[in-house]
Amino acid sequence: MEQITFWNGVTMPQEGFGVYQITDHAEAVRTVRTALECGYRMVDTAAAYRNERAVGEGIRESGLPRGEVFVTTKIWVQDYGLEKARAAVDRSLRELGVDYVDLLLLHQPMGDWPGAWRALEEAYRAGKARAIGVANFYPHALMDLCLTVETKPMLNQVEIHPFFQQEKALALMRELGVTPQAWGSLAEGGHGIFAHPVLAEIGRAHGKTAAQVALRWALQRGVAIIPKSVRRERLEENLAVWDFALSPEEMGRIRALDVGHSEIVDHFDPAFVRMIHELRAHD
Ligand SMILES: NC(=O)c1ccc[n+]([C@@H]2O[C@H](COP(=O)([O-])OP(=O)(O)OC[C@H]3O[C@@H](n4cnc5c(N)ncnc54)[C@H](OP(=O)(O)O)[C@@H]3O)[C@@H](O)[C@H]2O)c1
């Protein structure tokens, strides 16, 4: 397992796991414990997933020392603005039952995110977060952020998979020194990814599945990944991507699968923006 080093020197495992849509408390605790048993050492949650408490419990039940598990959480739009985001940081730490998180992100570039970013900078300076970053910051928003803040983000978590490769966004992140991390690295199951003819054929040549090829492709582009599964066998499958390499020819074949846009969300759709503002991470 490779580690990725942020511009501030903090390291993060290049592969972790996500817990989006695992809303049942017991299932979330069990998934975290199982993933840590499988060998994962990085977990991605968010206030909006409403499972931070379960994530904290799962980590404690694993018996692993706190310092061995890299924990990411995200502040939701409902809590943006300096004062509210300050309180939200403390709320997330309380829910998780930790003194600090390894990475603290703004979940969306909407609402008063400049105010919220100042709360993240404060949390970073106070040692409540070892690193801070953003999610879903498309290139224009990422550039705007980097030009206007005191502490630049260490990471940007955006949708990336073989059908939405985000070449330009990655180039900008490289230029700005911001680590890219993919959400939806399995396209949330879209595009028939698990039986995709190109990915499956490449996989057969390596004794791997289409899912493993998609994950390996991301790793070879220098992208961090956090695939999600509630099933042990899939968690194991998704972790078994460190013992093979795709050739330049295979990487080229996957490059041709890009459709150039998301079929999961449209951040530029006013209805989506309204939905984000209406979604509640807590009462
Ligand atoms: N920042 C953001 O706005 C944002 C947005 C979305 C996600 N995320 C983060 O990124 C993480 C990953 O993204 P995601 O959960 O949206 O989607 P994903 O990882 O692309 O796909 C997850 C889906 O694939 C299935 N799956 C996983 N491994 C599989 C395998 N080897 N074979 C067949 N099916 C498999 C899972 O089902 P089972 O669970 O039933 O196995 C689940 O339905 C999230 O959990 C979350 O932490 C962040």
Give per-residue pLDDT as tens, 53-94.
999 999 999 999 999 999 999 999 999 999 999 999 999 999
Q: Specify the residue for token string 């997933």.
A: 49
189: CA distance to ligand 1 center in Å?
8
Pick the CATH number of 3-278 from 3.40.50.10860, 3.20.20.100, 3.40.50.2300, 3.30.1330.60: 3.20.20.100
Ligand 1 pocket check: which of 20, 76, 108, 241 to mutate, most ligand atoms within 8 Å of Cβ? Answer: 20
Residue 1's pLDDT is what? 80
Residue 202 CB contacts under 8 Å (≥ 6 apart), including other chains: 213, 246, 250, 253, 254
Distance in angstroms (rounded) separating the CA atoms of residues 12 and 165 = 22
Residues noted as catalytic: 49
160: CA distance to ligand 1 center in Å?
12
For the chain, the average pLDDT equals 97
| Domains of the chain, residue spans | 3-278
- Considering the entire predicted model, what is its pTM? 0.96
Asked whether the beta carbons of 91 and 61 are under 8 A apart, the reply is no
What are the pocket residues of ligand 1 if the criterion is a CB atom closer than 6 Å to any ligand atom? 18-20, 44, 107, 135-136, 157, 183-189, 194, 211, 226-231, 234, 237-238
β-pairing, 70-75 vs 103-106, is: parallel
**Residue 196 Cα distances to 185, 192, 210, angstroms:** 14, 6, 7
Residue 15's pLDDT is what? 98
148: CA distance to ligand 1 center in Å?
33
Regions of the chain where pLDDT drops below 50:
none
Determine which residue's CA is closest to atom 27 belonging to ligand 1: 229
Determine which residue's CA is closest to atom 11 belonging to ligand 1: 18
Residue 283's pLDDT is what? 86
R_g of the chain computed on alpha carbons: 18
Residue 221's pLDDT is what? 97
Q: What is the DSSP string of 130-162?
A: S-EEEES--HHHHHHHHHH-SS--SEEEEE-BT
Determine which residue's CA is closest to atom 8 belonging to ligand 1: 183
Token output for 277: 């503002």
186: CA distance to ligand 1 center in Å?
6
Asked whether the beta carbons of 50 and 20 are under 8 A apart, the reply is no
Report the phi/psi class of residue 180: left, alpha or beta, with left for phi > 0 and alpha for psi in -120 to 50: beta
**Residue 142 Cα distances to 121, 164, 222, 235, angstroms:** 16, 18, 19, 31
Q: How many CB atoms lie within 10 A of CB 220?
A: 15
**Residue 269 Cα distances to 77, 96, 252, 272, 274, angstroms:** 17, 33, 32, 5, 9
